[in-house]
Amino acid sequence: MKIELAKITIRDLADGYEDNQEEGVSGYGGRLDIRPPYQREFVYKDKQRDAVIDTAARGFPLNVMYWAVREDGDFEVIDGQQRTISICQFVEGDFTVYNKDHEMRLGFANWQDEEQNKFLDYPLTVYLCEGTDREKLDWFRIVNIAGERLYDQELRNAVFSGPWVSDAKRYFSRTGCPAYGVGGKYLTGSPIRQDYLQTAIAWLSDNKIDEHMSASQHKPDAKELWGYFRDVIDWVERVFPNYRKEMKTPEWGTLYNLYKDADLDPQALEGRIKALMEDEDVSSKPGVYAYVLTGEERHLNLRSFGARTKREVYERQNGVCARCGKERGMEQMEADHIKPWSEGGKTDAENCQMLCKQCNREKSNK
């Protein structure tokens, strides 16, 4: 990992500054991606923004910034995005700050020439980071500990930047993006915070996101990812045609990967789902969808017996294990369904028995 310390003046930083909204923000003569296309847009509040300008105007040190060096020799801001945008916006005349006597707010154009030149010649401390993708990703995760933190996927987008990432962002990383139109009601999070993109890559790669992005970095487009995402959503809508709000949470890609070729009956599945949605013992309603496919009760977060029920049954059994007949202390006992939940047994006192821990384990293993 090569890390070079540089001094970049505000004059050079603000040269060629352009804010193209969701298409990105650039500066430093067009060589610096301040906010890459479709990355989330966060803007300092007035007080934070004013503090940045006041610090530089007084010649006090600002926190160090980090830029990634791209393969073509250009740069991308990893840490310091909001400070950079605040500085450039002020030079462009987008907002005003109080003068040194705090009497009135003035824009940069209203400053005296001497004040302007002092501000423009202020040297920003920047670390230029160059290395392998893995080295940069590890380093950026370490330094990303203050301010408005970047999310993991935003860091990955910076490290694995290239034609594949740019095309993937077009599908998954903007307000009203194609992924939102196709499958937004099945996804949690926000596209501009890269949640949609991270989810799609995780589904396709079996959660090996870094490895997949590294292998795809220099591909010309992300059509494979987009096609896979559409296949997942088409499968969900075909297998589970009755939409419920709980359908935003399941890991649909994982279920698709496992069951896309299975012979499934949507009508039969809907009957089971409806019954489970009405079952008061099922605490995790979104988990119903995974359960009807996998049969694994862990997805349901089944309601457990409460403390009062356990005490009631323990006293009813006179402290004796219902299986081995040995007397045990309350702390040595566990509640168990007499008739299993999977066979229609309810989680209530009538269907509860207290077993010693060993007996409960032995029963569970059968």
Topology of domain 307-364 in CATH is: His-Me finger endonuclease fold (3.40.1800)
For the chain, give the mean pLDDT.
90
Residue 148, pLDDT > 90, answer: no
Domain ranges of the chain: 2-160, 184-300, 307-364
For the segment 329-359, what is each residue's pLDDT rounded down to a tens digit? Answer: 999 999 999 998 888 888 889 999 999 999 9
> pLDDT band at residue 299, thresholds of 50, 70 and 90?
very high
| Burial tier of 292 (Cβ tally within 10 Å: 0-12, 13-18, 19+) | buried
* Bridge partner residues of 33 (DSSP): 26, 76
pTM (two decimals):
0.63
- The stretch 59-83 carries a mean pLDDT of 89
> pLDDT band at residue 215, thresholds of 50, 70 and 90?
very high
In the chain, what percentage of residues exceed pLDDT 90?
66
In the chain, what percentage of residues exceed pLDDT 70?
93
For the segment 16-49, what is each residue's pLDDT rounded down to a tens digit? Answer: 999 887 678 999 999 999 986 645 555 667 888 9
DSSP state of 304: P
Write the single-letter amino acid at 300: L
